[in-house]
């Protein structure tokens, strides 16, 4: 990839100059008020530079056009006021004149339109702030039987200020009712909400700078191409680089802003958050408190860098978080968790093994499990030929050899929540289980296709193998699981994976312009992954041979939920020699045995029933603002949450459940248990099939 970019740079410098863009169309001249946010000359140059880079070197090669302009317009309006809670319908209608002009503005460095739109939003925000403070002076009334739909995704802009006032009256009442049910007194409710909105005012009106608006606008363009391409202004770029070098401090979570919330986009393997098992990808943090008894600070509406300052702290200190879990039902109160900050050690992020015993058909089976949080590789250590450099493949090789010496009946590679990592390690890890051959195909933006191969003909482990995945197994995890599936080397069990089949590279924009002032960075999608059978992992991910119940729908979480995600497609298959372990007949029999257990196994039946109820409840986003009804709604949501959690609590190991060798207490894991049962089925079904084929 570095070679590719080195070749690209000189050609680009000859053909693209942001100072020489010819003006074709201009937005109307905007008269900026003294307190308005205004664009800079540097931003205009960056706008032209980014639009040229994306038009010529993004994997999609999408040129600026009126149709693209319309998508950029919608994206930006959504970023400015996505919940339609500030602007009026007349405001949005007034912006329509720019719908098909954004492409021209991007090409010519004209920023008047996006700044005009955002400055009107700021004006409407001030009006809302005044209304909210007046509303908080009124007595709280939770005895009126009315409802509020908290899902604003398909809502329309309010036609009149009175309509918007009524919406906000209900929104304020809803927030106050949540606090009351949480146990706060009326005076404390008002005080908390005043502080909350004062904090939001500070961030929206004082902390949002011109560079933040510019970044939002440019990313409304990058998001139109794909969800993983993005622009980072100099401030964001500096923070990103610091996170890359200091990401192992604090609680071990990578955060970003999403709407008004701070969302967890990655939990660093081995960190305090990871080990607590209380914080997960896609969760949202709504408040932060210091120590055992510190007061919670509401961070709804904050910038991520300010939130990080609260969450990070000295090693050994305690931070308390209020979390809205990704799998929580609508309007479920946030849960409070406590984490002790510490530095993450590399060994805590590495592969680990255990042996679980599963009783099936009145016989105990020893199943070796290797948990792999990420595909790690110490590239610098490898370059310097350090004999002990950190490597996923080397670690797993050692663990497999130890498990073989302990005479396990089968092996599970647990890739749940593994977001990926080193492609090199994904390829070499696959090589431990197959003879030499291709593992993945990589397609360049130019159309050139290259296979990444395992050159080693030796096979470390040829026994029964299962790969356990879930909705948050992505990228390198999908490459490994797909290769095992395509070679028919083992059975893939779990949920449909995330579906990220693209590769990004990071570009320093100052490399392409003679500017002393920092211009920021562009993360650009330049490659795409394909399975050796020719199918892309993009959007579809890997569909397990045996699919287990899931709370998460592809339309809600994963690449397929992103409107601008690159499409699934197919290229030619490469030559490879599949094994006879997973024939169509074997796969069908494994599924049949699993379906039989679904009908008879009490825990599986409970899990399916509770997940079904939870999914249906999640679809209902309308809540009562009558206190008595709301309490009943919350009680039912909590009952369903506990019912699901009860299926994964600490229990004494019993026959038929996962147990540690010494029969001590262990956290029950229904998905791992069922994966083990499928693997046991493979050992018996596979033997019978093998004998029949002789």
Distance CA 68, CA 72 (A): 6
From the list 42, 237, 391, 475, the catalytic residue is 475
How deeply is 645 buried, as exposed, middle or buried, from its count of CB atoms within 10 A (0-12, 13-18, 19+)? exposed
Residue with tokens 């929104």: 171
- What DSSP character marks residue 521? E
Q: Which residues contact 186 (CB under 8 A, 6 or more apart)?
A: 140, 180
Neighbours of 97 (CB within 10 A): 11
Gyration radius of the chain's alpha carbons: 27
Question: Which residue, 328, 359, 312, is CA-closest to 150?
Answer: 328
Listed in sequence order, the residues at least 6 apart from 415 whose beta carbon sits closer than 8 Å to its beta carbon are 372, 467, 468, 469, 473, 477, 480, 481
d(CA 148, CA 358): 48
CA separation for the pair 663, 651 (Å, rounded): 11
Q: Is 584 part of the annotated catalytic residue set?
A: no
Q: Which two tokens stand for residue 93?
A: 């209608």
The token pair at 223 is 């998001």
Q: Which DSSP string corresponds to 131-186?
A: HHHHHTTSPP---S--EEE---TTPPPBSSHHHHHHHHHHHHHHHHHHHHHTT--H
- Cα separation, 266 vs 281, in Å, equals 5
Closest of 493, 449, 503, 408 to residue 675, by C-alpha: 493
Dist CA 157 CA 164 (whole Å): 8
* CA 668 from centre of chain: 26
Cα torsion through 43, 46, 51, 53, rounded to 10: -170
Question: How far is Cα 424 from Cα 392, in angstroms, rounded to an integer?
Answer: 10
Element (H, E) at 131: helix 112-135
Structure tokens at 616: 């249906």
Which tokens in the block code for residue 250? 């604090």
Q: Which of 409, 454, 486, 669 is catalytic?
A: 486
User: Residues near 115 by Cβ (< 8 Å), separated by ≥ 6?
Assistant: 30, 32, 36, 37, 38, 39, 210, 213
Q: Is 500 a catalytic residue?
A: yes
> Tokens 């924009």 belong to which residue?
509
Of 500, 540, 618, 668, the catalytic one is: 500
Q: How far, in Å, CA of 546 to CA of 551, rounded?
A: 16
Distance of CA 624 to the CA centre of its chain: 31
Structure tokens at 130: 């005044």
Residue 332, token pair as written in the block: 């479920």
Query: How far is it, in rounded angstroms, from Cα 296 to Cα 576?
Result: 57
Q: Active-site residues: which are they? A: 475, 486, 500
């Amino acid at each position: 990839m570095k070679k590719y970019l080195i070749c690209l740079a000189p050609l680009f410098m000859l053909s693209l100059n942001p100072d020489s863009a010819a003006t074709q169309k201009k937005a109307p001249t905007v008269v900026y008020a003294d307190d308005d946010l205004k664009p800079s000359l540097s931003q205009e140059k960056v706008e032209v530079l980014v639009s040229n880079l994306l038009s010529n070197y993004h994997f999609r090669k999408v040129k600026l056009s009126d149709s693209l302009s319309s998508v950029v317009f919608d994206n930006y309006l959504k970023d400015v006021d996505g919940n339609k809670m500030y602007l009026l319908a007349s405001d949005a209608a007034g912006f329509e004149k720019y719908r098909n002009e954004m492409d021209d503005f991007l090409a010519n460095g004209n920023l008047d339109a996006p700044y005009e739109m955002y400055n009107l939003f700021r004006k409407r925000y001030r009006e809302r702030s005044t209304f909210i403070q007046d509303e908080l002076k009124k007595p709280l009334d939770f005895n009126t039987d009315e409802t509020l739909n908290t899902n604003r995704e398909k809502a329309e802009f309010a036609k009149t200020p009175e309509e918007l006032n009524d919406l906000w009256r209900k929104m304020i009442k809803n927030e106050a009712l949540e606090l009351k049910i949480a146990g706060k007194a009326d005076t404390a409710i008002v005080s908390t909400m005043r502080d909350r909105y004062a904090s939001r005012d500070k961030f929206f009106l004082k902390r949002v700078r011109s560079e933040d608006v510019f970044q939002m606008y440019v990313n409304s363009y990058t998001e139109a191409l794909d969800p993983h391409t993005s622009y980072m202004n100099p401030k964001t770029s500096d923070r990103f680089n610091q996170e890359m070098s200091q990401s192992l401090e604090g609680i071990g979570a990578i955060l970003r802003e999403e709407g008004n919330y701070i969302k967890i986009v990655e939990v660093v393997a081995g960190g305090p958050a990871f080990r607590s098992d209380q914080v997960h990808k896609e969760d949202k943090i709504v408040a932060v408190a210091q120590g055992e008894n510190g007061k919670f600070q509401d961070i709804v509406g904050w910038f991520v860098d300010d939130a990080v300052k609260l969450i990070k702290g000295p090693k050994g200190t305690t931070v308390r978080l209020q979390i809205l879990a990704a799998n929580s039902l609508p309007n479920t109160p946030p849960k409070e968790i406590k984490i002790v900050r510490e530095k993450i050690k590399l060994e805590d992020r590495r592969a680990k093994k255990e042996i679980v015993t599963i009783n099936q058909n009145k016989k105990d089976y020893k199943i070796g499990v290797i948990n792999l949080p990420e595909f790690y590789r110490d590239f610098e250590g490898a370059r310097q030929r350090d004999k002990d450099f950190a490597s996923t493949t080397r670690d797993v090789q050692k663990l497999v050899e130890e498990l073989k010496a302990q005479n396990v009946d089968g092996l599970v590679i647990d890739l749940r929540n593994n977001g990926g990592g080193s492609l090199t390690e994904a390829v070499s890890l696959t090589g431990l289980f197959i003879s030499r051959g291709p593992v993945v195909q990589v397609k360049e933006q130019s159309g050139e296709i290259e296979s990444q191969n395992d050159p080693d003909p030796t096979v470390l482990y040829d026994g029964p193998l299962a790969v356990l995945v879930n909705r948050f197994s992505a990228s390198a995890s999908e490459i490994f699981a797909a290769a095992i599936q395509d070679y028919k080397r083992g059975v893939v069990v779990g949920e449909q994976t995330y579906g990220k089949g693209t590769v990004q590279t990071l570009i320093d924009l100052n490399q392409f312009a003679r500017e002393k002032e920092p211009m920021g960075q562009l993360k650009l999608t330049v490659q795409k992954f394909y399975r050796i059978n020719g199918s892309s992992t993009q959007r579809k991910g890997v569909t397990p041979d045996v699919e287990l119940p899931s709370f998460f729908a592809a339309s809600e979480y994963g690449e397929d939920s992103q409107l601008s995600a690159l499409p699934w497609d197919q290229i030619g298959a490469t030559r490879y020699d599949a094994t006879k372990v997973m024939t169509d007949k074997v796969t069908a029999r494994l599924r049949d045995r699993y379906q039989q257990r679904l009908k008879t196994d009490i825990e599986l039946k409970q899990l399916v029933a509770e997940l079904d109820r939870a999914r249906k409840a999640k679809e209902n986003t309308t809540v009562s603002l009558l206190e008595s009804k709301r309490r009943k709604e919350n009680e039912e949501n909590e009952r369903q949450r506990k019912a699901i959690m009860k299926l994964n609590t600490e229990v004494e190991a019993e026959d038929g459940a996962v147990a540690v060798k010494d029969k001590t207490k262990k956290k029950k894991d229904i998905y791992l248990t069922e994966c083990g049962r499928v693997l046991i089925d493979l050992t018996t079904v596979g033997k019978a099939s093998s004998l029949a084929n002789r």
